[in-house]
Structure 1
Amino acid sequence: MHIRFAVPADPAYPGRVAAVLSGVRLRRFGWIGAVLAAVGALGLVVARTSGWGGRFTTLWLALLVGGVLSMLYAPWVRWRARRRSAGYAVEGGYDITDDNIMMRSGSESGGIAWDGVARVEETPEFWIVYVGRMPATVIPRRLMSAGDDETLRAFMAGRGLLTPR
């Protein structure tokens, strides 16, 4: 397998990459926030309807506010990542072989060996490549040809790297 394609200097592209990678890393904050907000809201309702309402109202309110803030943290970080990375648009490219993924961006280049890849998650726009438990990079699917996309999918499925949706 040998897949090679270019990445144009699109000002929106670095922001999309930053948003995808930060969204993966921050997904748990939404779940934790939802649980905290639900517990806080339930506690407030029970405190108001029962006789012991005044003692723990501050605790339930703090849980509710903390949960809402935790749910808003990930969208805020994604928004900041998109805004801050818009100025990093440079031409680049990918060179994907059976051994590794080589990435070039401007004058910088780097690579990841397939032996170090733990799993790959699929989104409509990107393949998210994980090294260990952390997302290390993305491969832009929309910049690849349909044939290269299927070839890469078959290669990753053969190695057992694709996670089920």
Structure 2
Amino acid sequence: MHIRFDVPADPAYPGRVAAVLSDVRLRKYGYIGAALAAAGAIGLVVSRGYPWGDRVTSLCVALLLAGLLSMLYAPWVRWRARRRSGRYAVEGGYDITDDNIMMRSGTESGGIAWDGVTEVRDTPEFWIVYVGRMPATVIPRHLMSAGDAETLRAFMSDRGLLRSPL
């Protein structure tokens, strides 16, 4: 297998990549925030009927606010990543073989050996490549030909790397 394709200097592309990678990394903050906000809201409701409720109210309000801020953290990071990444738009490309994934962006280049890849997750626009538990890079399907995308999908499935969509 040898797949090669170019990435144009699209100002929106780095923002989409940053949004996908940050969504994976920051999802836990939304769950933690929801749990904190729920605990704070339940605490506020329950404490109203008890004589010690006034002492607990400030803790419950703090939990509620911490939960809301935690839930807003991921969207804020994604917004900042999209806003700041437009200036990183440079031409690049991918060169994918049976041994590794080579990426180049402007004057920088790097690669990931398939032996180090632990899983690949499918999203609507990208395949997210994991090394260990961390997302290492993305492979943009929309920039590949349909035949190359199917060849790569089959290769990743044969190696047991491809996981169900997020």
TM superposition score normalised by structure 1: 0.97
1:51 paired residue number: 51
Distance 2:51 2:58 in 1: 16
How much has 1:163 moved relative to structure 2?
1.4
State the partner residue of 1:136: 136
- Structure 1, 107-116 or 42-51: larger mean CA deviation: 42-51
Amino acid paired to 1:121: R
Number of corresponding residues: 165
Task: State the Cα distance separating 1:99 from its structure 2 match.
Answer: 0.3
Shift in Å at residue 146 of structure 1?
Answer: 1.1
Q: TM-score, normalised by structure 2?
A: 0.97
Question: Could you tell me which amino acid in structure 2 is paired with residue 136 of structure 1?
Answer: A
Displacement of 1:25: 0.6
Instruction: Report the CA distance between 1:107 and its aligned residue.
Output: 1.1
Q: What is the Cα deviation at residue 51 of structure 1?
A: 3.4
SS in 2 for 1:46: helix
State the shift of 1:145 in Å. 1.0
Equivalent in the alignment of 2:123: 123
Partner in structure 1 of residue 62 of structure 2: 62
Which AA in structure 2 matches 1:81? A
Shift of 1:115: 0.2
Q: Percent identity?
A: 79
Gap regions ≥5 residues in structure 1? none
Q: How far, CA to CA, are the matches of 1:64 and 1:49 in structure 2?
A: 19
* Residues 55-98 of structure 1: CA deviation (Å, up to 9, x unaligned): 20011110000000000000000000111111011111101000
